[in-house]
A and B are shown apart, each in its own frame.
Chain A
Amino acid sequence: MCAGVAEIVGALGVPHNPFSALLVAQDADGAAEPRRLYGAVAEHLHAMRPDTLIVFTTDHYNLFFELSVPIFAIGVAESTSGPSDYPMLPHYDVAVDAVLAKQIQTAVVDDGFDVGMSQEFELDHTITAPLGVMIPRMDVSIVPLWISTSMRPIPSARRCYALGSAIRGAVERSPLDRRVAVVASGAFSFEVGGPRMSEDSHVGVPAPEWALRVTELLAAGDIEALISETTPAQLAAAGNAGGEILNWIAMLGTFDAGAPLFIEAQRAEGHAFAAWSAR
C-alpha cells in the first residue's frame, strides 16, 4: 500500500439559507447569529489550510432539470461562478480543482458509482452562500458533488455514505499534492413552499425532533445509527428539503468520523453547524 500525497484533512457541515447569507452581506439586524455560527466553523476550516473543498450539495432545480437529472454528478470545469439563483447575494468567481475532480470521477466509476459529470455549470446559493460567509476572498478551489436529494427517486443513506467512502479512496490514491476539506451543505428538516410550512412564513421545520436526533447522533459520532435511522419514511417526513441530510452522510463517509470539533444546532431552523478533524 502506497499512500498518496493528497489527503482529507477535515470536514464541515453547514446550512445554506440564502437569507442568512444576505443578512451577513448587508450587515443587517439578525446577522450576528449566522456570523457567529459560520464563523465558529470557519475557524476550524481555516486551521485545516485546505487547497481544495469537495462540496456535497443539492441542486435546487437550477442546474439539472430538462435534459437530465443525475442521482450523483461531479463538476469538472476549470472554473465557475455564482449564485445563479439569488442575484441579491454576493457574486463569486470560483476556481474548480478540475484535475482532482476528473481523478475522483474516474476512480469512483471504476468502483461502481455511476457519477455523471458537468463540464460547464454555475453554482447556486447552496454553495456560494455558506462559502461566501466563511471564505469571503474565495481563495480556494472546489470540487462540487451534487446529490439528487429533492426530486424523487433519491438515493439511500447507505449508498450516499458508500459514495463518500469511495471518494475518500480516490483522494487517498491521488498523487496530487492536495489538502482536501469536505463540506456538506444542507438542512436536516426543512420545507420550502410546501404544505408543512410554518404559520408565519413560506418555510418551516416539519420534524424538529428529527433534526435534534441527527444533531445528537453527530455529536456522539454514532454514524451507523444515523445511517440506519435515515429511512425513506424519515426523509419524507423531514420536509421537501430534508433529503439534504444525505449530503452530510456522504461527507461523513470521507473520513473516520468521531466526535466533532464543534457542533451546534439551530433548533428553529432544523439544521446545525459542525466541523470535524480527519486526523
Chain B
Amino acid sequence: MSVYAVDKVCRRVVCEPGFADRLREDPESALRAANPPLSDSERELLLAGDVGRLGRMGANFFLLHQLGRFELFGLTLPSYAQRIRTEYRSERAGWRAG
C-alpha cells in the first residue's frame, strides 16, 4: 500500500525546498531515500517518467502533473499530458463517443 509514497514524492517536489534539485542531480538516490519507501516498481516507473502507469496504479493526477511542471524524470507538461492521453486512449474514445 504505497501509492501514498508516490503522491508524497510529487508533493515534496512543490513544497520542500531543494528536493526537486536533488531529484535532478541524482534521481535514484533521492528516490531511495524517500519515506515511506517506494516499491522497486514505483521507483522504476518514476525514473522512467511513466506517469501513465503510475496513474493506473492509483497515484493522484494533480500531484503527478507536478513532475511535468517541474520538468523531472525527462518530463515536460506537454510530454506528461501526452503520456496520460496515450495510457487512457481507449477510455477517452469512449468519453468522446459518450
Contacts and interface: CB of A to CB of B under 8 A. Distances in A.
Contacts of A85: 14-15
Contacts, number: 60
B85 A192 contact: no
B55 interface: yes
Interface of A: 60-62, 65-66, 84-85, 150-151, 191-197, 199, 201-202, 206, 240-241
Contacts of B84: 193-195, 197, 202
Contacts of A65: 8, 11
A195 B55 contact: yes
Interface stretch (B22-30, B39-47, B74-82): B74-82
A154 to B, nearest CB: 14
Interface string B79-91: 0110011011001
A148 to B, nearest CB: 13
Contact of A197 (B15, B60, B81): B81
Interface residues of B, number: 23
Contacts of B61: 191-195, 240
A240 B8 contact: no
13 contacts: A60-B62, A61-B62, A191-B61, A192-B62, A193-B61, A193-B80, A195-B55, A195-B88, A195-B92, A196-B95, A197-B84, A202-B77, A240-B62
Identify which of A60, A150, A202 gathers the most chain B CB atoms within 10 Å of its CB: A202
Interface of B is mostly: helix
Given A62-B15, A195-B92, A202-B80, A241 B85 contact: no
Contacts of A206: 95
Nearest to B65: A193
Contacts of B77: 202
B63 interface: yes
Interface string B38-68: 0000000000000000010000111111001
A151 B61 CA distance: 11
A85 B17 CA distance: 11
A62 B14 contact: yes
Given A66-B8, A195-B88, A195-B91, A202 B65 contact: yes
A271 B92 CA distance: 22
Contacts of B62: 60-61, 150, 192-194, 240-241
